[in-house]
Structure 1
Amino acid sequence: MDAKHKSARIVPASRSANNILASVFGARRCDAWSENERERSSQSHAQDGDLSEPFIRKDSESDTSVDSERLCVESNARIFAIDFEKNVPKDKRDKKESRDDDSHSDAKVVDKFVRTNKQLKTRKNAKSALVKLCRCCPWTVPWSMLIVSAIQILTYTLNNDSLYRLMIFSPVRQFEIWRFVTYTFLHAGAVHLILNVIIQTMVSFPLETEQGHGNVLLVYFAGVLAGGLGASVFEPTLMVGASAGVYCLLMSHIPHIVMNFQSLSYRYFRIVAVLVLCISDVIYSIRHCLTKGNLQPRIGVAAHVSGATCGLLFGFIVYQGGKLVYFRIARYAGLLLYLGWIVATVFYNMERRF
């Protein structure tokens, strides 16, 4: 191959004001110039004396460059620059870029709108699922017993000796009347606390749903008071625990079931559950007293019995139920018996001397 047909190398096309490449070769597939063409064009222009654009061909030249056509077709050709938008004015390019930016911003707005709708749908579905769950579950949250349980757990966690001595039930300090109630917030150990919290929360679920939070809380503390007074009479020793209130809630299911038997759901199951809990605890207490002499731990039998009796009576007094005559008689009889028990035990503690 001679020097005239040596390997071609592509250079960028000029875009000066005198460039007439667009008018001559605008319809061709490739607008790149080879270096050989540049040399031939420069030589022809040097002969004519025109040096304005040495590597641009004139309009009179009708032959196209074979090397340029070959390089545009070959796959191994090294092309440095091909301007596909050379005929597009600058202002139109700016408008196109601005339209692209606007389209990108619109796409971002649409994406944000879609994400917001998805979040709203997710929240709506979660809310509807919660509503369905609440409709499926017939019981409400026992807030009163949860608050009492939280106070009991907090008191046990603090483990303050001065607070413990201030709240414990003591038969020799019967004139410090708060001790007949505050002992229910103290417990002898973690197992004692966990058992009482679990049982009183489970037992109060149906009661607070059907009788209200206030009535259940009143019954609970009435049992606590009755348990403290009963222990001061029959077992005058130091005492802690919420068992009296738990037994009061458990036994208050009986008047609640009796007065609302026809309208209650799972009424037979409730009767069986109350009987199983009561009988199992009685059997455990008898076995503990016979085998260990009611030591390690000591069970407050008097407080348990007093709390259970109070629940049986106070349930007829506080709970709402049937309109029959004998339910009213049971309500008045329970009120008289409870008040008589309170008055008798209070006078006993006032007259007692240690």
Structure 2
Amino acid sequence: MLLLPSSTVVQMPPPMPTGCASASASSTSHSSGLVLGVCCDQLMPQHPHPHPHPYPVHRTTTAVPGPGPGPGPGPVPVSATKKPPLLERERQKERQLLATKWPPPCFIVLASLLEIFVFVCVGQVPPEDSVLIYRPDLRLQLWRFLSYALLHASWLHLGFNVLTQLLFGLPLEMVHGSARTGVIYMAGVLAGSLGTSVVDSEVYLVGASGGVYALLAAQVASVLLNLEQMRHGILQLMAVILFVFCDLGYALYSRDLEELQARPTVSYIAHMTGALAGLSVGLLLLRQLDGGLRPRLLRWLALGVWSAFSVFGIAFNLINTVTAQLLAEQEGEVLKQHLLHDLGMG
């Protein structure tokens, strides 16, 4: 064996594996350089070839430019880059759907144009014998329960209704579709005439205020159903409430002027029943933007309120009409008997 000088100290590695020990034992006749080389090899960290991963791993990198003129710091994983949040992606998708929506929202626009056309043709004071006006003595002509919405008493009345339904109806139609918005609008118009026929059974009725207030109430229903998905839901709700209060204040202020100038009075019943119809039908038909299902209790409550109101209004009108006809026939028979008696023919 080759002896090393006493001044040389060699740090031996920890106990080596069996293979290394056998190699050292068999190399006693070799030079010290070979012995030192084997020991130094054992001192170096061993990096065995890793076993292949049972599942393939795909790593994607992207280059990020550096701040200076030189090359960037190198590729970084895509996961480290900033991704748009989920809510922002949903908003972009919603804006794209609204921009490419087909068919476009057309019901509110067509209804407004038709009301303007009828007003231009008929004039500011609708005749009482018009085939469109609602009259309680002609309630068997069923189209009058809806056609009265095409007539208006003045340019102010027409402009107010058209502007309101465009302001609140178009956004509703763009989100929920023309079919749902049209059903809500017509339900408000029908509720206005039915409610007026029950409470104020002697008045004539013109104007689309029942449908307009149905759209306002449908906005409230939309906020209640989709508050978490709407960015400005509270502001929309406050806008509807502020608008209703302003309209109510104007109506109260103009009551004295209407009495002095013998102008047509405002039918508050048509406004209230139209709003009731818009809220109930809106809770029943409007979409939920998160794709969920509305609570069963809410659906049954909305359907029950609208059905009960409609059935009561229709039944009241039928009973009242039949009763009025019977009374007219009896009165006519009595008048006939009196006339024959006066003529000496009875």
Shorter-chain TM-score bucket reads: 0.5 to 0.7
Closer/same/farther in 2, CA of residues 268 and 180 from structure 1, 3 Å limit: same
How far, CA to CA, are the matches of 1:252 and 1:180 in structure 2?
Answer: 21
Q: Distance in 1 between matches of 2:118 and 2:172?
A: 26
Q: Are the counterparts in 1 of residues 133 and 204 from structure 2 also a CA contact under 8 Å?
A: yes
C-alpha spacing 1:272/1:340, structure 2 compared with 1 (3 Å): same
Q: Which moved more, 1:240-249 or 1:283-292?
A: 283-292
Q: What letter is aligned with 2:113?
A: A
Is 1:223 aligned to 2:191, yes or no?
A: no
Distance between the aligned counterparts of 1:157 and 1:284, measured in 2?
25
Alignment partner of 1:249 is 2:212: no
Deviation at 1:242, TM superposition (A): 0.3
Q: 1:302 to 1:267 in 2, by over 3 A?
A: same
2:227 counterpart letter in structure 1:
F
User: Helix, strand or coil for the counterpart of 1:320?
Assistant: coil
Matches within 5 A, 1:45-194: 142-159=105-122, 165-194=130-159
Is residue 2:206 matched to residue 1:240?
Answer: yes
Q: Aligned partners of 2:250 and 2:129: how far apart in 1? A: 28
Shift of 1:320: 1.5
Q: Computing the radius of gyration over CA atoms, which structure comes out larger, 1 or 2?
A: 1
Question: Does structure 1 retain, via aligned residues, the 8 Å contact 2:258–2:265?
Answer: no
Q: Name which of 298, 302, 315 aligns with 1:347.
A: 315
SS at match of 1:168: coil
Letter of the structure 2 residue corresponding to residue 284 of structure 1: Y
Name the amino acid aligned to 1:334: A
- Relative to structure 1, the CA distance from residue 261 to residue 255 in structure 2 (aligned partners, 3 Å threshold; closer, same or farther) is same
Distance 1:207 1:246, change over 3 A: same
Which whole-Å CA distance do the structure 1 matches of 2:100 and 2:241 have between them? 21
Aligned counterpart, 2:303: 335
Between stretches 341-350 and 240-249, larger displacement belongs to 341-350
Q: Following the alignment from structure 1 to structure 2, what is the Cα–Cα distance between the partners of residues 197 and 318?
A: 23
Change (3 A) 1:276 1:249: same
Name the structure 2 match of 1:268.
Answer: 234
Preserved CA contact (<8 Å) 1:259 1:327 = no
- Tell me the CA shift for residue 150 of structure 1: 1.1
Q: 1:139 to 1:291 in 2, by over 3 A?
A: farther
**Structure 1 counterpart of 2:270:** 303
Higher helix share: 1
Number of aligned residues: 221
- For the 8 Å contact 2:149–2:206, the answer to whether it is kept is yes
CA displacement, residues 188-220 of structure 1 (integer Å, 9 cap, x when unaligned)? 112211111111011012211211111001100
Unaligned runs of 5+ in 2: 1-94, 325-346
RMSD between superposed Cα atoms in Å: 2.7
Bigger mean CA deviation after superposition, 295-304 or 237-246? 295-304
Q: Distance in 2 between matches of 1:266 and 1:193?
A: 29
Structure 1 unaligned residues grouped into runs of 5+: 1-133
TM-score by length of 2: 0.58
- Which residue matches 1:320? 287
Q: What residue is the counterpart of 2:74 in the other structure?
A: none
- Aligned-pair identity (%): 27
Q: How far off its partner does 1:167 sit?
A: 0.7
Q: Which amino acid aligns with 1:152?
A: E
After superposition, the Cα gap between the structure-2 partners of 1:213 and 1:342, relative to the gap in structure 1 and judged at 3 Å, is same
Q: Which residue of 1 aligns with 2:173?
A: 208
Q: Does structure 2 retain, via aligned residues, the 8 Å contact 1:139–1:206?
A: no
State the shift of 1:324 in Å.
6.8
CA spacing shift, 1:351–1:192, aligned 2, 3 Å: same
Residue 287 of structure 1 and its aligned partner are, at CA, apart by 3.4
2:28 maps to none
Secondary structure of residue in 1 paired with 2:254: helix
Q: CA deviation at 1:327?
A: 3.1
Alpha-carbon distance in 2 for matches of 1:139, 1:284: 40
- Report the CA distance shift for 1:198/1:235 in structure 2 as closer, same or farther (over 3 A): same
Deviation at 1:328? Answer: 2.7
